[in-house]
Amino acid sequence: MAIYQKTNTKIWTGRKSGSQLYLHEKVACIGLDAVKKDNFEKGYAILGYACDEGVKRNQGRVGAKEGPKVIREQLAKLPNHLDKDSKFLDVGTIICTDGAMEDAQNMLSETIYHLLAHDMVPLVFGGGHDMAYGHYNGIKKYVSTKKTIGIVNFDAHFDLRSNANGNNSGTPFYQIAQDCRADTIPFRYLCLGIRKDANDQNLFKTAEQLNVQYLERHHFNLYNLEHVRLRVMQFIEDVDCIYTTIDMDGFSSAYAPGVSAASPMGFSPDIVLECLRLIIDSKKMIGLDIAELNPKYDIDNRTAKLAASLVHYIIHNELH
């Protein structure tokens, strides 16, 4: 089963200023039932997805369920540059128990819908990348068929494995594609940072069959910035809203050693920040998540600090 748990405020600690100079002084930890449109203007809502059942099913290194906690801990220490009236909430964590990943995904979907319906931008901390299926479905329920949803995935992997033998952290975008086909709506998916040493031939064939747009890692860098910018901008123009998902295993292990599938051949944070800027400036981002952070294998919280810094960058630019 899946359970919901309100965040322990003790996670949010750091240097004290008495005047909200740090995010742990700015954040409001509340229960989901307290998220009401009459109470809040548009803002950010952090939600944890403590589940690595999908990683386990995909034969990966488990431990990502601890990701939401360590990202919060590192984000708490960072400076607060948000406007005084900006809302910055922590609305708790969805916890997968007894291997019930699908229950956790369903609860995530309903929670994403609830947050969007109350003018909150969801920031989901995982957890395995299986959360993408729940996150997307929450967005789809909110926008209905009125808007075209584009998915931008910063990742080494397509995560387009068939779910014929069950769902896991490698199947979410294949599942989304199949649902789109059944609903006769476009499947718009851009994957940035794909590596041939992380995807077999069948996955590339599946990507071609599903008309997936992607840039391989050797093209996804600052040396090819203009080309990258053009591809991202073209994708943005063709959709109404953007679900952004960042798989931490897409980064080089020099930056992100604490992931489920580490590799030194990944991309750098700089090119990701350049693309995030384009997404932010488009005003189309409807939700974001951070996937596959595995604290068990992290070094000096390097990966958690990177994840926190990415979130810090987004929240200080997206609503401005």
Give residue for tokens 């200080």.
316
| Contact (CB, 8 A) for 199 and 158 | yes
Work out whether strand 87-96 and strand 285-291 pair parallel, antiparallel, or are unpaired: unpaired
316 in a labelled binding site: no
300 in a labelled binding site: no
249 in a labelled binding site: yes
| Contact (CB, 8 A) for 215 and 262 | no
Region label for 70, one of left (φ > 0), alpha (ψ between -120 and 50) or beta (otherwise): alpha
219 in a labelled binding site: no
Q: Which of 305, 294, 245 is nearest to 75 (CA)?
A: 305
> Distance between CA atoms of 304 and 298, rounded to whole angstroms?
8
Cα 93–chain centre separation: 14
| Contact (CB, 8 A) for 56 and 62 | yes
- Give phi and psi for 159, each to the nearest 5: 55, 45
312 in a labelled binding site: no
157 in a labelled binding site: yes
- Which residues fall in the annotated binding site for Mn(2+)? 129, 155, 157, 159, 247, 249
- Which residues fall in the annotated binding site? 129, 155, 157, 159, 247, 249
